[in-house]
Structure 1
Amino acid sequence: MSNTTCACSATPDKIVYSFGGGTADGNGTMKNLLGGKGANLAEMARIGLPVPPGFTITTEVCTYYYAHGRTYPCTLDNDIKAGIAKMEEIVGNKFGDTKAMPLLVSVRSGARESMPGMMDTILNLGLNDETVVAMADATQNPRFAWDCYRRFIQMYGDVVLGVQKLPGEDHEPFETVIENLKHERYGKDILDSDMTAEDSQELVKRFKALVAERTGHEFPVCPWEQLQGAIGAVFGSWNNDRANVYRQKYGIPSEWGTAVNVQAMVFGNTGDESGSGVAFTRNPASGENVFYGEFLMNAQGEDVVAGVRTPDPVAELANVMPAAHATLSEIRQTLEQHFHDMQDFEFTIQDRKVWMLQTRNGKRTGVAAFRIACEMVEEGLIDWQTAVKRIPADQVDQLLTPIFSGNAIKEAKQIAHGLPAGPGAASGRVYLNAERCVEAADRGEKVLLVRLETSPEDLRGMIAAEGILTARGGVSSHAALVARQMGKVCVCGADALNIDYAARTITVNGETVKEGDYLSIDGTTGLVYLGKVDTAPSEIIQVLIDKTLAPEQSRAYQNFAKLMDWCSQATRMSVRTNADSPSQAEAAIAFGATGIGLCRTEHMFFEGDRIDFVRQMILATKKVDRVAAINKLLPFQKSDFKGIFKALKGLPATVRLLDPPLHEFLPQTKEQQRDLAEKFELRVEDIMRRVSELHEFNPMLGHRGCRLGIAYPEITEMQARAIIEAAIEVTEEEGFEVVPEIMVPLVAFKKELDIQKAVIDKVAAQVFEEKGKTIKYLVGTMIEIPRAAVTADQIAETAEFFSFGTNDLTQTGLGMSRDDSGAFLPKYQDLEIVKTNVFASIDQEGVGKLMEIAVELGRKTRPDIKLGICGEHGGDPASVKFCNKLGLTYVSCSPYRVPTARLAAAQAALEQA
């Protein structure tokens, strides 16, 4: 190849691996080097399946290519020629032969992780004006030969030469040429397979003219030059836009690179006794153990995947070509027995002979993944540990979320697209504030809460709503966090929405939606639809939560329960939940949670008239009035804690003391402030003054957390009393032991925790004396400030447990605002400054290092310290596995993410073992 370089010291010893003829240089374990496609082609050749011969250029060449200015190792030319020579020997045809049937090749990508359709492919390479004549003469089938030639020019012109649409063009230029010729000659569209040899000859002529016009160069005629261009295009496609987006979505590192597979062509377009197809060894949507797929006769594989014709189900092949169907059925069984997983494979039938072009572990839905894993254990193909490791943990959500009915979604009108923040589907009448949302829900309406963004004061509306839609915020915004905790459907950051609170309308893309009109949102895709779209709950929810479906009536539930039981056998690190109410705790326990890792007490302050008592406390000018106001909350807080402790039935609960700044509890608009002044018989000027006094330029770093408890110890006193009294009373009433874990938030200095613990201990002693009974309780802190992490040895002298608040630790550790990072974080991901959204998955190299320091220092002081994580990262599979690596005691996440965390924790334990 001409663009080679001689940095030979950087060249691996072997960079081309051949396969075919019943042998292979590589094997199926070499995916990192040969890519998934190349490794599996080698493996199929080794086990005797009918694989056209070829060779794989390794992923190391791709890495070299980008590291050395898009040049190749100096040995690659000779290695490719040797690879072609082996193919010629097996096939019996010569590359570029103008006297007999020429060897034609395909050139395809192959990353170690499957990236279907993201990179480039070229078929029928090696044709020119002379080899096509030789091919036509050798096969006595000129229609077939010229059909291959026109296909090759079209694909090569697009992929390698860059012949693409110009501004203002509606269709791909090659397709426009084909359409024009069909109408010229036939007056209508006909199938490509119905075109004659003369039609294809004319298309070749017009395609070449198009290439010359658009590129300024003639189409290359030398097969070796064609091969060089195709290999370069495949390596280049590793960094095309769609590949980059795919890698970001699925966390595939750019440094992995792709392999290139050069393989002898076999042809499904020779006539009615040939065809191509794509098949699965099981149904990838349902998991049913049936032969599943599609095929087309007289077609190449690209026709099947491109949708130029409607394929037939693979079962129909038994009628069209019974022998080929029988062969494929045998291959299906061989693949599963050998690879021990459901396979997605491509095949070609050339003149009734079946050829295998690739196989890979098939993509599948969450429902299918659970069913396939369980049934393969029953069939003896895999053990239960493999079943647990095999299912992507983030697929569990698919089993739990409601979905739009298939027929209804076809008729729905999409009007906006946001971030999928809380999976599932929901329809409801739109309300733009929490109060009206609650009122409508109380009337029996299904409602959606739609806001520019949400705040804790919207909690009641969020609880009442079927789903939450915001114009601002990301996947870790308040709306998203609370929605996931409550199992609510949520779409955030749908910035096309123009919300007018005064007019009570939403305008979007020419549509006006009034309050009370229906919208529908899909929290799995982020799509927003006009009107009402019917939904249905998942079977898992019907069995575990709603109790409307018996376990034996749901195969999905049976598979889910079986996998969760296996997870319990494997897991070292337990999974708790973030829950603020008995119903949330009960739901989490039904999913297998082992307690509460975070109970946010501030959410309890918005129920009923409680907010009034909080506001009285904030507005009080004397301590005595402040204490009187806050103590009105005591019976409500105690009742809440009793309900939660009873729901837990002796499982542990970590209760966080008041965390948000006080200004969040006061009304911000003048109209609301006037209403409050009238209600409390105060001057509106006094309320406005207090709001102004509490204003903070950076509330996240302001007067909140333990700073509130130090400034107003009466808050800590009331909450500690409520917790301790509730624990004692439930212990006496229910007969099981309650051991509350009281968590002090936002600690940066040991003395802060010392001061707060002294208040808690003082109150506990008073309650013990009053009740004549003592209980065990723990006092610990959240590690959410870098200083706390690096002084954890000091803090552990007082703290009996640490819980990492990774949401705020990420913000303080990276200096990034969660709510404002949307302006730059996507670009950072594009540039791979960060590999993933740091507010969705822990930044292991940075924030993770702070956690590692805190774990090491904390255990140095207190070897038996309990360690957990309660940020939303606790439901992210990659973060869960990182926490297992750190040796944390538990992770805590929202109730509906508990199964995901359980599966990830089990996988982490098995991988570590």
Structure 2
Amino acid sequence: MHSDGAPHMLIPNETDGIARIQPDAGVGSWAHGERAADLQRLVDLGLPCPVTIALSCAKVHEIAEGLRFNPAGVVNEFGPDPLMSVQPSSGQRSWGGPRAFHDVGLNAATHARMARLLRRERADRRRLAFILRYATDVACLDAESFETAGRAADPVATALAIYADEAAEPFPEDAGLQLSRVLSSMAKAWEGVTARLLRHAQGAPLDAGLGLLVQDNGWAMTRGEIALIQARMFDPITGRQRINGQVRIRGRQARDTAPDPAGDTPKDTGKDTGHSPAQTGARITGTAEEGLETGFRDRAPDAFYEIAGVLETGRGGFREDRDYDMALTDRGLLVLDARPATSSARVALNNAIALVEAGVISRDDALLRIAPPALAGFLHPQVTPDPDRKPLFSGVAASPGGATGTIVFTPDAAAACAAREEPCILVRRETNPEDIRGMHLAQAIVTERGGMTSHAAVIARGLGVPCITGASSVTVSADKARMTLRDGRVLCEGDRLTIDGTNGEAYEGEIAMTPPDTDASFQEFMSWADAARDMGIRANADTPEDAALARSFKAEGIGLCRTEHMFFEPSRLIVMREMIFAGSEQDRRAALDQLLPMQRADFTALFETMAGLPVCIRLFDPPLHEFLPADREGRMNLAQSLDLSLTEVTKRIETISEFNPMLGMRGVRLGLMHPEIYEMQVRAIFEAAIEAGEAAGTRVEPEIMIPLVAGRSEVRLVKTRIDSVAAAVRVATGKDVTYRLGVLVETPRAALCAAEIAEYAELLSFGTNDLTQMTYGLSRDDASRFMKSYVQQGALTLDPFETLDFKGVGELIRIGADRGRAANPTIDLSICGEHGGDIDTMAFCREAGFSYVSCSPFRVPIARLSAAQLAIRSRME
């Protein structure tokens, strides 16, 4: 029956793209959009919903194209005095769509009836609002023409007269004509160019379809009070199970200023009429807005428990908790919508756990419901969201989290802030290894240049500090201690800045943060992930502090320890520079002898921290120039410390500088040209392994990784020298020394020659950052300047430094893995670049039979959940 008691003229299910949503009608998101499918589920669950007619995406497209549409069959579904709302139903709700159109069918007769039921003032407001919306959105008239209507003695009559004059025809009184034109307007709005681009930005295909729902709105014209209810079965702050929500009373007793479903903004509605809901037997009058559980429950317990029953039924039917919109009138309760809940990662995780505890879903289902990147919200402080807040500038979201501090432009300035215990934001044009001390002291990092795999991004993720790279709309002038924004504004050293590394945005001043929280529920959820996954997860960790952090995140070892980062402490950096400036091998060895105990202590602490878990140590990789100052002041200080002239220092720096140092004497090449460096590191590793093993009463077998290899001969030469050092340590200590040899595959040639390399190695680890750089011939630090435009033009689908290029770089990895395994079936395969924490890359590695992936410590929980989801989905196939 219609809400007024009139019989329906039923539309047969799916007639020419038009279907009435009724039990087992089969309306689905593929044809009618997500909202229509959700309403079909509610009806199938036996819940009371308004009469709704669904127009398929194909039908709406026909309407947009101008094909004739006869609305009579639809309008007849709503009785002799129809009052309808038209709701958008896109393929996914997140794609958006045109605004809902309420009170379609509101004509003079309905207006008069509404005035008798709801008082003349309310009826006039609703009729006027409908006329104005129709005039601007459907008839495309100028809104300014109607400005005088609201001030007129008879606003409705004035608006109708203005419409007739502007449109050259009377305002349509026929409900069918109104509906037909409203549907056409919404259909054409969806197909417009701007709408296409907006939804494409939300992930929708450009040709995505729109369904439309024509829904009975007659319930909003009841004589008694109406309770408009937003209800949920979970706490919006914690995610734990709790019935809660808001109730807005719209009726003759309440003073309600909130918009009702018809879109008006009611004022004082007069005195109480005494009407009560027929189904609940309880009065629903009260304040204009109150809590569902705090006030409404006590005054209308029967209605509250009816609402609770809807929530419980919906939870079982959808197998998830949703946000429900309901209306309670003197004719009973109606469920208007059940929207997927939009909530924080914390709420979603706790809610998933609650659904498991209630037996609604399994642990595997719960694990699949949390997007792995969302776990960053548990691990870092986050900037409190505010849609009205405008960023000063934006860039690549290189490392998640939020932080506030004063701007500094040099590592020395960061050190000064740290001495004053003042938080700071380090801003650089781009960072280099010499900046690491300042990066350790800063609360966040911003660079004008760079991308997801630039030096700043990699180090920031390892440190767990927020970072924005590639902020190309700013110009950094470190020498002048200022940065200039695109609009001409200037920020100077000492100004306050808030960095949102999660979204790649920077804001002026200080903003409140949501603190990190890895509580018991987070740990329980992650234990489910560990039980489900079948791929190993290690961490990239360069220091004992990094290692301890990795262990706290349940990493199963260290997949990459970059030893060069140990040399940038001031006391070590000067010794390192002495070694670089040494004029002979003997002098270099003398300097390295000073570094040996420092390295040994580092490695001992690393082994002890990991307590028997595997530790893979990469031998020295960067070119030597990275340890030398680039500015005149730094060179003068170096000259003084080495008792050399500035001329001698400058000449030496110029001698070792290279046109393209990333392709010059670095990695294994440096180890072959200056074997004493690798010999010192290997000796330190072996002696530390013996020391840590004796302390723990166990045996420590390190993994030693050779970087930037291009072929077998390099590996053979370095392995020979490693074995020689092992023998010397064995003789000197009387202790057995063993190790596993790894090769870092970062060059295309190494991937192609993996079979030969695997004859000597027990581990092949693919360094995707450099391998991508060399395969594309792109600088990972410079590409950000044009990469966004490159992707927008379609020259590339995705930034290959953010998402692994499976077609090109991935093919090299696949070739290397297959050839390496064919030559050495027991060889371990891994990825240690930052791509390793990405779920798509992990899926690629899992399919290729990799043993583990390694990523920065703060990405370890993300990788653990990603691995679990991959394993679960593979079992479901």
TM range, normalised to the smaller chain? 0.7 to 0.9
Distance 1:676 1:869, change over 3 A: same
Partners of 1:120 and 1:159 within 8 A in 2 = no
Cα distance between partner residues in 2 of 1:229 and 1:532: 44
1:46 aligns with 44
Distance 1:158 1:814, change over 3 A: farther
Identify which of 331, 335, 343 aligns with 2:322: 343
Cα distance between partner residues in 2 of 1:153 and 1:126: 10
Partners of 2:196 and 2:206 within 8 A in 1 = no
**CA positional deviation for 1:267:** 5.0
**CA positional deviation for 1:144:** 6.8
What SS does the corresponding residue of 1:674 show, helix, strand or coil? Answer: helix
Cα distance between partner residues in 2 of 1:368 and 1:392: 13
Counterpart code for 2:351: I
Distance 1:736 1:446, change over 3 A: farther
Cα distance between partner residues in 1 of 2:450 and 2:573: 25
Partners of 1:425 and 1:520 within 8 A in 2 = yes
Cα distance between partner residues in 2 of 1:816 and 1:207: 61
Mean Cα deviation higher: 491-500 or 902-911: 491-500
**CA positional deviation for 1:258:** 3.8
Partners of 2:87 and 2:215 within 8 A in 1 = no
Cα distance between partner residues in 2 of 1:302 and 1:797: 75
1:468 aligns with 445
Partners of 2:53 and 2:215 within 8 A in 1 = no
Which structure's CA Rg is the greater one? Answer: 2
2:200 aligns with 244
**CA positional deviation for 1:654:** 1.2
- Deviations along 1:562-608, one digit per CA (max 9) or x if unpaired, are 11111121111121111111111111101111111111111111023
**CA positional deviation for 1:687:** 2.7
Matched, 1:591 2:575: no
**CA positional deviation for 1:285:** 3.4
Distance 1:684 1:205, change over 3 A: farther
Distance 1:133 1:437, change over 3 A: same
Identify which of 319, 331, 337 aligns with 2:310: 331
**CA positional deviation for 1:366:** 1.4
1:456 aligns with 433
2:205 aligns with 254
Partners of 1:132 and 1:146 within 8 A in 2 = no
Identify which of 437, 460, 467 aligns with 1:490: 467
1:522 aligns with 500
Counterpart code for 1:654: C
Identify which of 681, 690, 693 aligns with 2:652: 690
Mean Cα deviation higher: 311-320 or 833-842: 311-320
Partners of 2:729 and 2:737 within 8 A in 1 = no
Cα distance between partner residues in 2 of 1:433 and 1:726: 35
Cα distance between partner residues in 2 of 1:724 and 1:23: 71
**CA positional deviation for 1:434:** 1.3
Cα distance between partner residues in 2 of 1:483 and 1:826: 22
Cα distance between partner residues in 2 of 1:211 and 1:588: 69
Counterpart code for 1:637: Q
2:186 aligns with 230
**CA positional deviation for 1:177:** 6.7
Matched, 1:481 2:458: yes
Partners of 1:53 and 1:87 within 8 A in 2 = no
Partners of 1:875 and 1:901 within 8 A in 2 = yes
Partners of 2:21 and 2:43 within 8 A in 1 = yes
Partners of 1:268 and 1:349 within 8 A in 2 = no
Partners of 1:270 and 1:351 within 8 A in 2 = no
**CA positional deviation for 1:740:** 1.3
1:291 aligns with 243
What SS does the corresponding residue of 2:398 show, helix, strand or coil? Answer: strand
**CA positional deviation for 1:782:** 2.0
Distance 1:832 1:257, change over 3 A: farther
1:673 aligns with 635
Partners of 2:137 and 2:185 within 8 A in 1 = no
Partners of 1:284 and 1:362 within 8 A in 2 = no
Q: How does 1:539-618 map to 2 (within 5 A)?
A: 539-540=517-518, 557-618=519-580
Distance 1:154 1:411, change over 3 A: closer
Cα distance between partner residues in 2 of 1:302 and 1:691: 75
Partners of 1:235 and 1:260 within 8 A in 2 = no
Matched, 1:264 2:183: no
Partners of 1:576 and 1:892 within 8 A in 2 = yes
Matched, 1:273 2:248: no
Residue identity over aligned pairs, in percent, reads 34
Cα distance between partner residues in 2 of 1:694 and 1:668: 13
Mean Cα deviation higher: 230-239 or 881-890: 230-239
Cα distance between partner residues in 2 of 1:475 and 1:208: 59
What SS does the corresponding residue of 1:121 show, helix, strand or coil? Answer: coil
Matched, 1:794 2:756: yes
Distance 1:708 1:351, change over 3 A: farther
Matched, 1:825 2:826: no
Distance 1:754 1:352, change over 3 A: farther
Cα distance between partner residues in 2 of 1:49 and 1:589: 49
Mean Cα deviation higher: 257-266 or 394-403: 257-266
**CA positional deviation for 1:670:** 2.3
- Deviations along 1:247-276, one digit per CA (max 9) or x if unpaired, are 2xxxxx627824413232325753663464
Cα distance between partner residues in 1 of 2:58 and 2:771: 38
What SS does the corresponding residue of 1:742 show, helix, strand or coil? Answer: strand
Cα distance between partner residues in 1 of 2:773 and 2:137: 43
- Deviations along 1:202-252, one digit per CA (max 9) or x if unpaired, are 445556777899xxxxx99564354234224335489534323222xxxxx
**Aligned residues between the structures:** 823
Cα distance between partner residues in 2 of 1:815 and 1:156: 57
Partners of 2:618 and 2:704 within 8 A in 1 = yes
Counterpart code for 1:437: A
Identify which of 585, 605, 609 aligns with 1:643: 605
Distance 1:50 1:495, change over 3 A: same
What SS does the corresponding residue of 2:479 show, helix, strand or coil? Answer: coil
Q: TM-score, normalised by structure 2?
A: 0.84
- Deviations along 1:481-535, one digit per CA (max 9) or x if unpaired, are 2112111133334456554433434566787655455443333344444455675
What SS does the corresponding residue of 2:94 show, helix, strand or coil? Answer: coil
Cα distance between partner residues in 2 of 1:443 and 1:631: 36
Counterpart code for 2:23: G
1:843 aligns with 805
1:710 aligns with 672
Distance 1:574 1:61, change over 3 A: farther
Distance 1:826 1:885, change over 3 A: same
What SS does the corresponding residue of 1:566 show, helix, strand or coil? Answer: helix
Cα distance between partner residues in 2 of 1:536 and 1:228: 45
Cα distance between partner residues in 2 of 1:152 and 1:892: 59
Distance 1:317 1:266, change over 3 A: farther
1:136 aligns with 111
Matched, 1:538 2:516: yes
Distance 1:506 1:839, change over 3 A: same
Gaps of 5+ in 1: 1-12, 94-99, 164-172, 187-197, 214-218, 248-252, 541-556
Distance 1:40 1:222, change over 3 A: closer
2:273 aligns with none
2:740 aligns with 778
Partners of 2:220 and 2:261 within 8 A in 1 = no
Distance 1:85 1:788, change over 3 A: farther
Partners of 1:122 and 1:152 within 8 A in 2 = no
Partners of 1:237 and 1:243 within 8 A in 2 = no
Cα distance between partner residues in 1 of 2:264 and 2:373: 30
Distance 1:767 1:155, change over 3 A: farther
What SS does the corresponding residue of 1:563 show, helix, strand or coil? Answer: helix
Distance 1:737 1:210, change over 3 A: farther
Partners of 1:520 and 1:531 within 8 A in 2 = yes
Partners of 1:44 and 1:51 within 8 A in 2 = yes
- Deviations along 1:274-300, one digit per CA (max 9) or x if unpaired, are 464544332333213233444545544
CA RMSD of aligned residues (A): 3.9
2:376 aligns with 397
Counterpart code for 1:21: Q
1:370 aligns with 349
2:271 aligns with none
1:805 aligns with 767
1:108 aligns with 88
